[in-house]
Each structure stands twice: as C-alpha cells, then as structure tokens.
Amino acid sequence: MTIDSKEENPNFYQEVDILIRGGQKLPLKIKACIIQPNVFISQENFDFGDVEFNEQIIKTMSFQNNSNLDAKVIVNLDNNILLRDFKLELSSKYKGEKGHLVKGPDKDQNEDLNNISDHLEEEEDDENELEESTNEIREFTITIPANSSLDFDFIFCPNNATIKSYDFMTNFILAGVDECKGLQRKVSARIIDCVINVQKSVIDFGKTFIYGSKNHF
C-alpha cells in the first residue's frame, strides 16, 4: 500500500470497504502521519563577487538534514542556462568515504550517454563537447543521512562570454516535495574584463653596435 501526499506533516486517515463474496463488507481503517524531512542549505547566499573570464572560484555548500529519516535531494545543473558555468562536487575532505551518497544516472541512462558519445566522436567539431559530456555528471541525486550534514564544493568558472552577470536562485528539489524553500539560495557573480595596458607604445633602442645591446624597459 502506498500513500501519496503533498501536504507537510498531514495526519492521514481513510476508511476502505473490503467486499467479501457472500459476506458483509469489512471496513479497513488506515491511519498514518506523513513526515517531511527538514532539509536546507546552511549558507544563506553565494556571492562570488567579481570574477575574471575562465577564473575558477570555489565556495562550500552544506546540505543539513535535521530530521530522523534520510532525505534525497535532486540536482540538475543543466535545467538553467546560468547554472551551466557551475559544478557541484562532493567535498574532497571526505576522501571518497561518502561517494556512495551521490548517485548519478542509472545504467540505462549511462548506456544512452555512451551511445551519444560514440556518435559524437565521429565529428571533430564536437570534440570539446564530447569530453565535457563524458567526464562530468550534471544530474544526480544526493542522499543526506538523518541528523547529519554533507558538504560540497560549489565551483564557478565562467566560460560564456555573452553572460556578464549572474543573479538567480538555486533550484534543487527535495524528493517527494513540490517546493522546498530551504534549498533555494541566491547565487550572484559579476564578470570583469582583464585589461592589460602597455605603458610605452614605442620602444626605441636607439643606435647600437651589431653585437651590442640596450634595454629601455
């Protein structure tokens, strides 16, 4: 028996009549209390400040679970164009001990990705796109154990020259819940141009011997 409820912590009660051939109806009373995990991101916002093109900045993102049951958070870094310059990786401090808590696409999805990759290998123009798609998982599920936290490296490296500023809310999903405000955090950043000026437009070495040298820097 499966109970599907979108409410927060409802007290569920339902009576179901079971029909018995040749006999009376047997009433079945079903009671339940649906508990929603209390999950949130500890940091209130992520301001990466001024960042140069192709410069990598890393901030810590902590998922906190203050409930007595495990929670699953669904991450999709490709459903928002602004998120495509971001990566979310399990903190290196765990040294692989908690890697089982992050689950990527299932086997069928992996096979589909491999088929796509084989097709892309035939096209030289898509070589860079192939490398990114095969080495980086952009959609995955995080399992946060009961009454614990899990730290991630939130990595920003702008490589889209058409985007000069970032201002959006994270859109992570708590499994089984339509909307979880605790997983919505503001992300902001501004892209600055790296300007290099040459102080002297003309460098004059003057007259010198064929084997001599002068330096006016």
Q: For the stretch 92-127, what's the b/e string if a residue is b when 16 or more beta carbons lie within 10 angstroms of its beta carbon?
A: eeeeeebeebbeeeeeeeeeeeeeeeeebeeeeeee
Pairing label, strands 71-76, 139-144? antiparallel
Residue with the two structure tokens 């084989």: 118
**172 — pLDDT class (breaks 50, 70, 90):** very high
Task: From 211, 157, 148, select the one nearest 189 (Cα to Cα).
Answer: 157
Residue 130 has pLDDT above 60, yes or no: no
Task: Report the share of the chain in percent with pLDDT over 90.
Answer: 43
**50 — pLDDT class (breaks 50, 70, 90):** very high
Mind listing the pLDDT tens digit for each residue in 19-41? 887 778 888 888 877 778 899 99
Residue 163 has pLDDT above 50, yes or no: yes
Average pLDDT over residues 191-209: 75
Instruction: Please provide the average confidence, as pLDDT, over all residues in the chain.
Output: 80
Task: From 85, 99, 100, 102, select the one nearest 190 (Cα to Cα).
Answer: 85
Question: Between residues 140 and 178, which one has the greater pLDDT?
Answer: 140
Do residues 185 and 62 make contact, with C-beta atoms less than 8 angstroms apart? no
Element (H, E) at 134: helix 127-135
Residue 153 has pLDDT above 90, yes or no: yes
Half-sphere exposure of 25 (CA within 13 A, CB side): 7
Residue 140 has pLDDT above 80, yes or no: yes
Average pLDDT over residues 154-179: 91
Residue 170 has pLDDT above 60, yes or no: yes
pTM of the model: 0.67
The domain 39-104+134-192 is placed in CATH, from the list 2.60.40.10, 3.40.190.10, 3.40.50.620, 2.40.10.120, at: 2.60.40.10
Residue 185 confidence (pLDDT): 96
Question: Between residues 136 and 116, which one has the greater pLDDT?
Answer: 136
Mind listing the pLDDT tens digit for each residue in 87-128? 999 998 998 889 899 998 764 444 444 444 455 445 544 444
Contact residues for 189 (Cβ-Cβ < 8 A; gap 6+): 47, 48, 49, 50, 51, 57, 156, 158, 165, 166
Task: Please give the Cα distance from 149 to 2 (Å, whole number).
Answer: 29
Residue 47 has pLDDT above 60, yes or no: yes
Task: From 116, 141, 117, select the one nearest 131 (Cα to Cα).
Answer: 117
